Amino acid sequence: MHDEDLIDITEVAPAEVAEVDLYQRREKIYTRKIEGFYQRIRLFTGWPLLLGYFSIPWFNLDGRQMVLFDLPTRKFHVFSLTFWPQDFSLLAFLLIIAAFSLFAVTVVAGRVWCGYTCPQTVWTSIFMWLEQSSEGSRNQRIRLDKQPWSMNKLLRKLAKHGSWLVVAFATGLTFIGYFYPIRDLVWELATLSAGQWQIAWTVFFTSATYINAGWMREQICTYMCPYARFQSVMFDRDSLIVSYDSKRGETRGSRKRHLEHRQQGLGDCIDCELCVQVCPTGIDIRDGLQFECIGCALCLDACNSVMDKMEYPRGLIRYTSEHQLEGGSTHWLRPRIIGYLAVLSIMIGVFIYNIATRVPVELTVIRDRNQLYVTTDNGQIDNIYTLQLLNMDNDMHLFRIGISGIESALLIGETRYLVNSGEVRSITLRVRIDPEELDSPSTRLDFEIAADDMPALRTTSESRFLRPSN
């Protein structure tokens, strides 16, 4: 091959492709404040999350914290219910339901979870508001960062970072309050009597909130959150996404207001770049759908405000689907949506049924393996069993033990036990049966426990009764 046959890739590849640096330093994004219809909606999605997060640990129910994941005692209190490690399958099932719900919402409306309700978005919005309150508007913040250090700059930076740390500390403290009684935690921290683990975890989550919402911001969504990477798999041509109508907006450019812009060969986009300035991830929505877009609709409100001033129709940037952009209509009831709704309905129904029929008591029966059976002097057969009784209810109960499955079976030993809440009682019992009444060497035998003061609190466990094969 001759040298003249070689192709210089720098002449073919765009500069932005050839010069990509995977380890380049983050360029700070200065967002511009904007108000509009969709930002008012965000108040109704973000504030309930904040109020619920910060207030729920302070409510008590039946003398205990209403929501408390008590790891040392392995009790998870959620309102009036108490869950144990044995109920982990319910938690896993709940997480599966949440995942399917997110998938279903994404198919219909794109990343509305990210834009309106995701904690990273909500807390970042709070930190951005605190930044604007202490350092001023977008242009003022840019000028402030370019200025040399002065007393004014120092005070503004201290005010910003101080307010960030206050919110981060409240967030970290509240998070630990879901795992350690929050009233005790606040008192112990205030009196400097908290243990090292309480202090360490509070500092850790305070630092995490401060770094994630204050410094990393869009990098969490872009590089750390897996949802941004696989969202395109769930989108289809009928999914609602924030899109720029290039047919209507191009060609971009400034224009004279007293002249018809179409006659000037221009579209509705005046190239003000306000949509870029308000974007928290720093993208230009006019370049098409990008995985960094979180669907927050800030660019939508910004563009609508410009369209109002220019007396153009709204919707140059809007929630729409690819079918609508191409002149068609969005199909709401499509096989994927119907499938998600059907699966979700079944899973939610099964979950509710399991919660409603859940019995907070567990019985495990272990037959003695050292001796398969014991023959008494009068020829009867004894099997020895160890019962482990776990009371997962919040109250103490007197439990009664019974057996069924073999009519003439005789239970030898104490059959009534008082078991405290959370106590695991180990009980050893004998079951005696005349071998003539057994049809096979191994016969099913059911153990049952029931609370005297609560008949509905009962459960059974299956075991086997063994006799000589001859």
Residue 360 · residue 397 · CB < 8 Å: no
pLDDT value of residue 205? 96
**Lowest-pLDDT range, 58-62, 280-284, 330-334, 364-368?**
330-334
Here the tokens at position 335 are: 């096989």
pLDDT value of residue 222? 86
Any residues with CB less than 8 A from the CB of 121 and at least 6 apart, and which? 46, 114, 115, 221, 280, 294, 296
Any residues with CB less than 8 A from the CB of 216 and at least 6 apart, and which? 224
Cα distance between residue 446 and residue 316, in whole Å: 70
The single residue listed with the structure tokens 């009371």 is 391
pLDDT value of residue 81? 84
| Residue among 226, 246, 320, 247 nearest 288 (CA) | 246
* Domains in the chain with CATH codes: 361-466 (2.60.40.10)
pLDDT value of residue 24? 59
Residue 92 · residue 99 · CB < 8 Å: no
The single-letter code of the amino acid at 381 is I
User: Cis peptide before 251, with omega less than 30 degrees from 0?
Assistant: yes
Of the pLDDT bands very low, low, confident and very high (cuts 50, 70, 90), residue 15 is: very low
Stretch 21-33: mean pLDDT: 76
- Number of Cα atoms under 13 Å in the Cβ half of residue 376: 13
Of the pLDDT bands very low, low, confident and very high (cuts 50, 70, 90), residue 3 is: very low
For 226-252, the pLDDT digits (tens) are 887 777 678 888 888 899 999 999 899
Q: With 80 as the cut, is the pLDDT of residue 14 above it?
A: no
Any residues with CB less than 8 A from the CB of 381 and at least 6 apart, and which? 373, 374, 375, 432, 433, 434, 435, 438, 465, 466, 467, 468
For 159-218, the pLDDT digits (tens) are 999 999 999 999 999 999 999 999 999 999 999 999 999 999 999 999 999 999 999 998
Lateral strand order in the sheet of 454-466:
416-419, 397-404, 442-451, 454-466
Residue 165 · residue 134 · CB < 8 Å: no
Cα distance between residue 135 and residue 156, in whole Å: 6
The single residue listed with the structure tokens 């350092």 is 135
End-to-end CA distance of the chain: 91
- Greatest alpha-carbon pair distance for the chain in Å reads 115
For 392-449, the pLDDT digits (tens) are 888 899 999 999 988 888 999 899 999 998 888 999 999 999 888 888 888 999 999 9
The single-letter code of the amino acid at 158 is L
Here the tokens at position 94 are: 């709940």
Mark 398-417 as b/e (b = at least 16 C-beta within 10 Å). ebebebebbeebeeeeeeeb
Q: Within a 10 A sphere around the Cβ of 176, how many other Cβ atoms? A: 23
Q: With 90 as the cut, is the pLDDT of residue 69 above it?
A: yes
Cα distance between residue 400 and residue 389, in whole Å: 11
pLDDT value of residue 23? 54
